[in-house]
Amino acid sequence: MTRILAVANQKGGVGKTTTVINLGASIAVHDKEVLIIDLDPQANATSGLGLMEADTNGIHSFVSGELSLAECVVKTEVEGLSLVRGTRHLAGTEIELATQEEREFFLEQALSNSNLSGYDYVLIDCPPSLGLLTINALVAADGVILTVQSEYYALEGLSHLMETIRRIRAYWNKDLMVFGVVLTMYDKRLKLSREVEQEADEFLGKALFTTRIPRNVRLSEAPSHGKPVILYDAYSSGAKSYMSLAREVMAR
């Protein structure tokens, strides 16, 4: 069975794209087939995997139903890791969608019309907002992974996000689960990180993944080389942490 997971948080710069790329690559090296869908007009997941944003045959053509999944998928440097490329034109698509009926269901429709049987996991990279693109991702997904940066106010934003998830369940996707929450840019030497960790633990309980993603410069360098961190520096703490997160995700 294919598991569809959206990686979301309306807050910018909290490690969503880094998680999509590196979790995707780390699952793929376990002999799994993983498809990343770049649903962010910034197209950072696409460039971070060393690919050019898509003028055609990307996410734009796929959600509009113009082209099939097979026509929009490209392979990445990691065996077993494929991508539907993002494009800044998606910002226009979001505006076009806004006036249409069933506007929350475009991605869900496109995916249910596709043959996903070759994929173990589909990971959707969401933009930093709770707009229509993120809603489309949450309606299409079985579960959501939330990335939370280890800093003040991180959990305040989270309650807003939880409210959105409840609304999505009530209206459009009753089975949507919070698959897990991952603390990113964690620094165990910092009191602040440990405080956020403790609060997150109390607030989230079992939803919180045990793996912490440390602040690691290799993770921030890898995208400019167009590689997931396991191909850039497999021995870095960042690479090890995403491997550990991949094992947790596969076990859940």
Ligand X SMILES: Nc1ncnc2c1ncn2[C@@H]1O[C@H](COP(=O)(O)OP(=O)(O)OP(=O)(O)O)[C@@H](O)[C@H]1O
Cα 213 to Cα 56, 137, 147, 148, 219, distances in angstroms: 34, 23, 10, 10, 10
Helix locations, the chain, DSSP H: 16-28, 44-48, 59-63, 69-72, 90-98, 106-112, 132-140, 154-171, 191-204, 217-221, 229-232, 237-251
What, of ligand X, Mg ion, none, does residue 215 touch, CB below 5 to 8 Å by kind?
A: ligand X
| The entry of ligand X, Mg ion, none that residue 92 binds, CB within 5 to 8 Å by partner kind | none
Among Mg ion, ligand X, none, what binds residue 212 when CB lies within 5 to 8 Å by partner kind? none
Alpha carbon 74 to its chain centroid, in Å, reads 17
Secondary structure element (H or E) that encloses residue 123, with its range:
strand 121-125
Stretch that binds ligand X, among 37-45, 69-77, 88-96, 243-251 (CB under 6 A): 37-45
Write each residue from 30 to 49 as x if it is in contact with Mg ion (CB under 5 A), else as -, in one continuous string.
--------------x-----
Cross-strand bridge partners of residue 177: 143
13 binds, among Mg ion, ligand X, none (CB under 5 to 8 A by kind): ligand X
Between 4 and 20, CB nearer to Mg ion = 20
Residue 48 vs 105, nearer CB to ligand X: 48
Q: Of ligand X, Mg ion, none, which one does residue 132 interact with (CB within 5 to 8 Å by kind)?
A: none
**Distance, CA of 217 to CA of 81 (rounded, Å):** 23
d(C-alpha 244, C-alpha 35), whole Å: 19
The distance of closest approach from Cβ of residue 24 to ligand X in the complex, given in angstroms and rounded to an integer, is 12
By CB under 6 A, is residue 22 in contact with ligand X?
Answer: no
Contact status: 190 vs ligand X (CB under 6 A): no
Range 163-222, binding Mg ion (CB under 5 A): none
Determine, following the binding rule CB under 5 A, whether residue 17 of this chain makes contact with Mg ion: yes
Q: Assess contact for 229 and 236: CB atoms under 8 A.
A: yes
Supply the DSSP symbol for 105: G
Q: Which is nearer to ligand X, 19 or 61 (CB)?
A: 19
| Binding footprint of ligand X on the chain (CB under 6 A) | 12-18, 40, 42, 44, 128, 184-185, 213, 215-216, 219-220, 223, 238
Binding site for Mg ion (CB under 5 A): 16-17, 44
